[in-house]
Amino acid sequence: MAGVLDSVNQRTQLVGQNRLELLLFRLRGRQMYGINVFKVKEVLQCPKLSSIPNSRSMVRGVAHIRGETIPIIDLAMSIGLPAITPDALATSFVIITEYNRRTQGFLVAGVDRIVNMNWEDMLPPPKGAGNDVYLTAVTHIDDKLVEIIDVEKILAEVSPLSDDVSTDIQTRSRERASGHLPVLVVDDSSVARRQIQRCLTAIGMEVITRDDGKQALDYLKEITADGSKARDHLSLIISDVEMPEMDGYTLVTRCKNDPALRDTFIMLHTSLSGVFNTAMVQKVGADEFMAKFSADELAEKVMEIIDRG
């Protein structure tokens, strides 16, 4: 237990400082990729895999790990690269992760090391890369390009989550008072932004989106430049945590330290899960936390927040 608490304390020290830890890994060749350590439960040699009939081709099978049956996804195949060959499985690794309340393993060719980074050094993908790239950010480590994969986009393709709000909740939303101020949604994943926007639109909310914390903070300063408060313009802010240039924790800290922004309700809405979130949310002063993604839960929570003023 002491070890777990020490780990919590060490990682929460990064909160509000716009820092993260990246696990670096390879898929094909020398190109390096990264994943936030907060999402990693375990890294192990590729275990024996059992096939799943009629599964997507990038799902290489399931593994039985510590009492759980976990799907193993070939990360290279998921982003359009050649699959790891059967002969190479024995020397490959599986990164066990927790995203969107689900556990899955990502099959990778090799694991390198963990590095401590500043989110300011994580940049959005080049604009010329197009809308269909599987990246949320890029950075440089030891003069080499490291690509951060949009895991939410991959999971949405492998095992889609419904972003439809139930008929009952939509009916209740129409019975509420109209004329609510817009909701600002901040998320670097285009898939996540679309999911949240579709959910909130279904309950009659206008949605404004920004791709990262820096863009959101710039927008908030712009709308309050006339001396008004952010709450005069927005019902609430829903922000992801992991974002290039400025993460969600830092966005909350900056907002809560600004008199024009501090009264605005901020909910962190993230695929990160595990034991660290409560300590982190309390430290930065967020008003609410919700794990991604349940359209009904999100819709009900937003209506509750708005109705209680």
Q: What is the DSSP string of 71-89?
A: EEEEHHHHTTSPPPPGGGG
Does position 8 have pLDDT exceeding 70, yes or no? no
Q: Which residue has the higher pLDDT, 272 or 66?
A: 66
Q: Percent of the chain having pLDDT more than 90?
A: 55
Q: Are 67 and 81 in contact (CB under 8 A)?
A: no
pLDDT tens, position by position, 82-97: 999 999 998 999 999 9
Does position 241 have pLDDT exceeding 50, yes or no? yes
Does position 273 have pLDDT exceeding 60, yes or no? no
205 pLDDT tier (thresholds 50, 70, 90)? very high
CA distance 292 to 99: 8
pLDDT tens, position by position, 104-145: 999 999 999 999 888 888 988 877 665 667 888 899 999 999
Task: Write down how long the chain is.
Answer: 309
* Nearest in space to 238 (alpha carbons), one of 221, 260, 216: 216
Q: Which residue has the higher pLDDT, 114 or 38?
A: 114
Before 293, cis peptide (omega within 30)?
yes
State the burial class of residue 86 (Cβ atoms within 10 Å of its Cβ: 0-12, 13-18, 19+): exposed
pTM, 2 dp: 0.79
CA distance 145 to 32: 7
Q: Are 186 and 132 in contact (CB under 8 A)?
A: no
Eight-class DSSP state of 160:
P
